[in-house]
Amino acid sequence: MTARRLHRMRQTLEHRQPDLQVLLDQVHKPHNLSAILRTCDAVGVPRAHAVSRHQDFTVHRAASSGTGQWVDVQTHTDLPAAIRTVQGAGMKVYAAHLSEVAVDYRAVDFTQPCCLLLGAEKEGVSAEGAELADGHVIIPMFGLGASLNVSVAAAVILFEAQRQRLAAGLYEQPRLPEAEIRRTLVEWLHPRIAERCRNEGRPYPELDEDGAVIWQPATS
């Protein structure tokens, strides 16, 4: 454990954007999922929501270069429940979906609380998802292909969101509560200790300046 590693992790958490999230509906190919999570980490998206028929939601570490583990993935039983969760948290849901009401993705104000809805690799966003979304966005294309790979589309749109948020100064100050940053640092640096604390109902330990656990003396 080094102070440099602790500093890098804390800096990462201080750039997280809690009101910018992603919702994946039936995106089940591991390489696509991993690539999307890698982009989420890169732009500061702390959480991805996932709806999948597959019980095992697998992340390819090779494709995500290990970054998939830094993004929380919350699973949902169905799409309406997932969308209600996101909208209930005050975020608008924008579906990457070609329709008569779709707008250029660059025309959306991504500095506002929002969540990007991405559909399955072949089918795209479902009719149900398109109906429940607050808006539709498209990436203008001038070639013969009808669409981009879902992970590529996610990267294009999320980096536009990052560009807008950088210009608005949303990365300049931490947007996560300090208590959440400390809790997450323990989970990232000491996952086994964090799991043990959760199982035993005990608070997480404090960390020293190098990221090592500060053990408190046992009380009789």
User: Residues annotated as binding site for S-adenosyl-L-methionine?
Assistant: 139, 148
What is the spatial distance between Cα 62 and Cα 51, in angstroms, rounded to a whole number? 23
Q: Which of these, 146, 73, 157, 69, lies nearest to 114 by C-alpha position? A: 157
Residue type, 125: V
Instruction: Assign 3-class secondary structure to the chain.
Output: CCHHHHHHHHHHHHCCCCCEEEEEECCCCHHHHHHHHHHHHHHCCCEEEEECCCCCCCCCHHHHCCHHHHCEEEEECCHHHHHHHHHHCCCEEEEECCCCCCEEHHHCCCCCCEEEEECECCCECCHHHHHHCCEEEECCCCCCCCCCCHHHHHHHHHHHHHHHHHHCCCCCCCCCCHHHHHHHHHHHHCHHHHHHHHHHCCCCCEECCCCCEECCCCCC
Residue 189 Cα to chain centre, angstroms: 19
- Residues making up the annotated binding site are 139, 148
